[in-house]
Structures are given as structure tokens and as C-alpha cells.
Amino acid sequence: MNKALIIFILCLGYINSIAQNNTIQLKGELKNFGSEVVLSKETPEAQLLKETIKLNLDEHNRFEVSFELLEPAYFSLGRNTLYLSPGDHMKIIVDNDNPNNSTFIGTGSEVCTYLKARPYPKAGSYLYGTDVLKGDPTTNELAKNVAKEVRKREAKLDALKEADDFFKKVEHGRILFDAANTLMSYGFRDAYAKKIAQEQMKAYADSITNLYVNDIREYLLNGSDKDYLNTSAYLSVVDKCIEELGADKMDAEVLDFLKVHELVYLLNRKGPVAEVLGRKNEVEADLSTQKYKSILNKGFEKYQKLLPGNMAPALELTSMDGQAITLADFKGKVIVIDVWATWCGPCKAEAPYFEALAKKYQSDKVEFISISIDSSEKPWRKYLEGHEKTSTQYITPRPRFKEFQLITVPRFMIIDKDGRLIDAFAPVPSNEEFEKLIIKAVK
């Protein structure tokens, strides 16, 4: 064998070894999830761009997936948070209704098991699921209870044997940010408990929060670091970090993330309309890092296919009688779409307006369809038993709306008879502009 060939074979083996070392392998069972599930990456960039990995379930809700990962990152799977590093391979059982019942076995399992007990984001942190409120503590006692909870959680974190430095740094931050969020949230919890009048609630809550100002400041001392963008706990307190530390002390990437996050939030709800596109130019000019300029442009690129005149993305639906149907099956008719869920209050508020328009304009030229994104059919069918509808009812898992960039519901869309988008982010039906779009479409 000649020398060049030997070198080639050795290099190929080295490359394959690197690829294998970067491969994440997960398999197991998911409980109390819908029929289609995604693993969501939680790096700052992935949060903004909604990067997900689809998990294909068999008839027993089991799955197996592998993917490349170049550096450690957080992921969310239902209500569980996972921390994965290149080369991790685990067998997992994740219960969406009871995250603490989830189990992790294999390489990387120690940190994932630790994360089961982290407070659920935006749920008052330690106010719920801990003993900090036990015995109806006084103001001073609450601060001591929170400090005690911090020490307990830091001890558990420090005891981990397989956690890397980045994980320990971010999780230490999470503990402190959750502590700050507890003290910042307590005023509103107390106001609700004491049935303080709505118009007086904020003032009352602020007065309570002010009692803990020194404790809060102490917990947020390191809150300028961009690495903490990897935990949702930080996003609950980042505005307070800026207030306490000063914008000039914050990492530039933190400030850029917040600017892009605000604009992406608007984009997700309104689509690439003139107002949002104009705001994009302003934000891009104000960003100080090339990284976030690139992320911003990537985010907007995903919406180009949803501009009026483009063909609507493919979408498969299930009818009330269990039949599969696609949007393409409606070709020849204008389609007016309501995307909703039984758990969505605003959806239910807009439904009567949508149904009134369905009664008014339903014909052989236009089809009004309502698409539920409920994770199971049972609540959907039960709700429809008690609510008469003119629009035709369908259900489909939320992940199937990926190409439509569906982030929130309700969402209303109008598609012309040729399958082209008229408006993928139409106004709500209670807005008279929605009816005008229908009239124009069916002419």
C-alpha cells in the first residue's frame, strides 16, 4: 500500500472519529406529548431563529434520533430542559405532565437529571415548589428562606461530577436569577392574596419589591454576561440587570439580543409588513455586533416565502371524521383560515366574528376552515360538541405549521383560489379590514 493511500485512510478515519464524537444519540419514550414533537435548541441564536429537531414517534411513543452538535447547548423537550454535549448518548423517558418523573440514563445523564428540579420559567421561581413560603413568612423571613434555598441549590450544583465549567457557570447564574425573580415577583403574589384592587396592585407590588432592593441587587451582580442568555431565567430579570448595573456595563451581545428579540417578537405576530420591515432597518443600524446583524437577517429571510403572491406552504390536516386532507385539496376556492386552540382565550374571543363571516360569505367560491393545534383530539372534540360552527373543523399538530412560522394563536390567513397567499398574517376577524380582504379575494 503506497504512503499517500495510507495517509488518506488515516485522515478519513480521523474525520469519521471527529464526526462520531460530535454526534448526539438519544432514544427513549415520551409520555403525555402530542403526536408530533420537537427538541428546541436554546442557544441565543436558536431562540431567535426557532431552531428545532423533529422527533419521530412510533405507535408506542418511542423515538430514536441522532444529530451533530459542535459545542454544548441547552435544549427544551416539553417542560424538561436538557443540556447536551458532543458525544452524549442517552436513553430517556420524558413525562411532559410531570417533568420530575423523567429519567435519563447514559452519557450526559447527570446534568439532565439535575435540571429536572430547576424552577419552571416565569413561574415565580422559588415561590412555587419550594419551602420559601412555608409558614407564611414575614418580609425578613422570606429573604432568609430564599437565601437558604440558594445555598441548597448551589450545594447540589457543586456536587455534580460530570458538569463542565460552562454548565456550572450558567446554572449558578440561574440559581441567583431565580432568587431575584422570587423577590421581584412576591409583591404581586401578595397583592393577589390580599385582594388588592387592580388599580392599586402595581404600586403595592413595587412597595414590597423595594423592601428587597439590596438582596435583588446582590443576586444580579454578575448579570451583564452574555453566557446567561442560554437560560430563560435570565430573560426574566435582564431588564432589572440593566437598571441596576447600567447599560454601559452590559455585554454588547446582551443588548443586541434584546433588540433583535423585540423585533422578532413583532415579526412573529405581524409578519413582514411594512411597519416591521421599516423597524428592521432601524434596529440593524443600531446593532453593535455583526453576529446579531446576521441573525436578524436570517430571521427575516425565513418569512420571505410568506409574502403575498407566493404559493402557500404545504399543510396536512385531519378532519372530524379522521380523513387526511391538504390545503392543495381546496384549490379553486379562496381559503379563509382560523388557526386556534381550545386553551387559547383570545382564540375563543375572535371565534364568533370568524363564524359570522363564514355564515355571510361561505359559498362555492370560498371555504372557511378552522384548524386546531391542540396536542390531542379529545379536548378539541369535547369543545366542538358544545359550540356550533359554520366553518369546517380540522386539527393538526403545531410542528406542521413550521413553514408558516406559527408562533402564537390565534392566527388568521387568506389564500387565493390558485393556492397563493393573500395574507399569511391577516388582521383578526373583529377588525373590519379582515372582511375587506375577503371581499377583495372573492371578487
pLDDT tens-digit profile of 141-192? 999 999 999 999 999 999 999 999 999 999 999 999 999 999 999 999 999 9
The dihedral sign for the CA sequence 338, 342, 346, 352: positive
Question: Is residue 112 annotated as a catalytic residue, yes or no?
Answer: no
Q: What is the pLDDT of residue 2?
A: 60
Q: Confirm whether 6-115 and 316-442 share one CATH topology.
A: no
The radius of gyration of the chain's CA atoms, rounded to the nearest angstrom, is: 25
CB 105 within 8 A of CB 91: yes
**pLDDT average per 10 residues of sequence, the chain (443 residues):** 53 45 95 90 96 93 96 96 97 94 97 93 85 91 96 98 97 97 94 92 94 97 98 95 97 98 93 92 96 96 93 96 95 97 96 97 94 94 94 94 93 96 96 96 88
Rounded Cα distance between 6 and 363, Å, is 72
Domain range 316-442, CATH class: alpha beta
Rounded Cα distance between 267 and 174, Å, is 28
Ordered by start, the domain boundaries in the chain are: 6-115, 125-249, 258-302, 316-442
Rounded Cα distance between 335 and 284, Å, is 36
If DSSP codes are grouped into helix, strand and coil, which group holds residue 106?
A: strand
Q: What are phi and psi of 295, to 5 degrees?
A: -60, -40
Q: What is the pLDDT of residue 51?
A: 94
The CATH number of the domain covering residues in 6-115: 2.60.40
Q: What is the pLDDT of residue 297?
A: 96
Catalytic residue (choose from 11, 112, 241, 344): 344
